[in-house]
């Protein structure tokens, strides 16, 4: 029997895991969510009518904090996210994917922050993990971090400034917004959004939509200087499939194609972002949809800055996919009355991106000024659950009250590198 007593009060944090037929990954994901021994957490797994052993995997855990819900029929991703959200009871909500993980120490720090500060939203930068594949690939089985993950401390950010960064295209990517996916949003914000638009998740890519919409409904935002979660990537990931181009015959069976077809078959969300494969273009289209949703003038959006950014992304798309994607983006721009995308065919031919360097799996540890990479196909770290243990050891203790000064950051980075070297040498 579980050692956790039944907690009848409202949980402080709901960790939500939408899933569909990825029981192998889900088991390890749930395992990481249950490590933090705190009764103010609930874990909600929302199963999108899987036909594999997903339910059996959840039933194999004996912990009253874990709840399983099932949509009863196959629904598009946005609907599963909304269904999962409705099943939560926590005061604050954190979504992760079924091939992602939470860091036990990071969750404990997040709970302290939620108790003491009671923010509208909390964000952090995630670690990255590439699941081992079969057959092996040069990039898989890789755990990586950047120096900013070891800063420690917290800082308050202005949600209005976050929105301005999107409008002027000065944000790094959509995760520079206020996230509920690999981020934490209070029930207060969710209720404000729902009261205004009738639901919380609205976009084809629900994580992108929430990240851009949330700044309008948050009064305050706190950024943590350490990760709470790890973003996993596998060959079964919708995100990976969206940006990975294969032959048209293989594409028909890809997770992204299934994702897009479910929207079409359900007659839901006719957004052009459904078929777009550039994350930058998806973010741009979703930004315009938020403007429509909130009746904001799109004059606030720097279209030229966005188009330049999208064009640079299109260069990486091979033909015939390039033409298809450019047409979709042109159509979206036409729908909003903007000029068509200036296709830089000549640039595509003359400025092909440099081929990616192969990452040798024999090199267990790679350290550069801006990243730590650990090859994890070895026995000591063969899945995302064991990777989280390694990650917490490398990150170490990054106290919430640490001052975010450069000397402290450099020292923390050096200590993290030292811990990584010791871990690899002793395993």
- If you average pLDDT over every residue of the chain, what do you get? 81
Distance CA 43, CA 41 (A): 7
What is the structure's pLDDT at 120? 98
Lowest mean pLDDT among 49-63, 298-312, 407-421: 407-421
> CB-based burial of residue 338 (10 Å sphere; 0-12 exposed, 13-18 middle, 19+ buried)?
middle
What is the structure's pLDDT at 419? 76
What is the structure's pLDDT at 95? 98
CB 331 within 8 A of CB 288: no
- Highest-confidence segment of 126-130, 326-330, 366-370: 126-130
Q: How do residues 197-209 score in pLDDT, each as one tens digit?
A: 999 999 889 999 9
What is the structure's pLDDT at 362? 40
- What are the structural domains, with CATH classification, of the chain? 13-233 (3.90.550.10), 238-350 (no CATH)
Give residues with Cβ within 8 angstroms of 258, minimum separation 6: none
Average pLDDT over residues 131-136: 66
What is the structure's pLDDT at 252? 53
What is the structure's pLDDT at 402? 56
Average pLDDT over residues 329-349: 64
* Region label for 198, one of left (φ > 0), alpha (ψ between -120 and 50) or beta (otherwise): left
* Dihedral angle of Cα 386, 391, 397, 403, to the nearest 10 degrees: -150
Tokens, residue 207: 């994580």
CB 82 within 8 A of CB 201: yes
Lowest mean pLDDT among 50-54, 91-95, 291-295, 338-342: 338-342
139 pLDDT above the threshold of 60: no
Chain centroid to Cα 279, Å, comes to 12
- Which residues are 93's β-sheet partners? 14, 185
Tokens 């899945």 correspond to: 383
247 pLDDT above the threshold of 60: no
Distance CA 87, CA 83 (A): 7
φ, ψ for residue 8 (rounded to 5)?
A: -90, -10
């Amino acid at each position: 029997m579980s050692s956790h007593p039944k907690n009848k009060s409202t949980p402080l944090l709901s960790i939500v895991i939408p899933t569909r037929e990825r029981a192998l990954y889900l088991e390890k994901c749930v395992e990481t969510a249950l490590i933090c021994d705190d009764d103010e957490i609930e874990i909600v797994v929302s199963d999108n009518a899987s036909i594999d052993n997903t339910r059996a995997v959840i039933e194999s855990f004996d912990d009253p904090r874990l709840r399983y819900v099932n949509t009863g029929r196959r629904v598009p991703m946005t609907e599963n996210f909304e269904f999962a959200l409705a099943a939560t009871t926590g005061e604050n909500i954190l979504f992760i994917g079924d091939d992602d993980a939470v860091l036990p120490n990071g969750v404990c720090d997040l709970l302290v922050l939620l108790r003491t500060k009671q923010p509208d939203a909390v964000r952090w930068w995630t670690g990255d993990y590439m699941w081992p594949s079969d057959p092996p690939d040069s990039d898989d089985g890789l755990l990586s971090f950047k120096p900013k993950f070891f800063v420690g401390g917290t800082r308050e950010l202005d949600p209005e400034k976050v929105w301005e960064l999107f409008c002027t295209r000065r944000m790094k990517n959509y995760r520079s917004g206020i996230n509920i996916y690999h981020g934490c949003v209070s029930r207060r914000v969710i209720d404000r959004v729902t009261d205004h638009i009738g639901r919380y998740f609205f976009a084809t890519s629900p994580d992108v939509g929430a990240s851009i919409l949330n700044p309008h409904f948050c009064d305050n935002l706190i950024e943590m200087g350490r990760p709470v979660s790890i973003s996993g990537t596998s060959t079964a990931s919708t995100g990976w499939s969206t940006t990975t181009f294969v032959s048209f015959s293989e594409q028909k069976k890809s997770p992204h194609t299934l994702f897009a077809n479910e929207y079409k078959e359900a007659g839901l969300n006719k957004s052009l972002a459904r078929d777009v494969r550039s994350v930058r273009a998806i973010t741009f289209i979703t930004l315009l949809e938020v403007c429509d949703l909130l009746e904001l003038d799109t004059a606030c959006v720097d279209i030229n800055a966005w188009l330049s950014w999208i064009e640079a992304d299109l260069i990486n798309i091979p033909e015939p996919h390039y033409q298809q994607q450019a047409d979709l983006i042109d159509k979206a721009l036409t729908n909003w009355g903007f000029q068509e995308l200036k296709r830089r065919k000549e640039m595509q031919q003359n400025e092909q991106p440099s081929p990616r360097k192969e990452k040798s799996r024999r090199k267990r540890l790679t350290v550069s000024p801006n990243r730590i990479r650990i090859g994890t196909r070895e026995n000591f770290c063969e899945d995302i659950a064991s990777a989280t243990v390694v990650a917490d050891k490398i990150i170490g203790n990054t106290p919430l009250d640490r001052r975010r000064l450069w000397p402290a950051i450099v020292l923390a980075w050096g200590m993290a590198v030292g811990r990584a070297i010791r871990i690899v040498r002793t395993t």
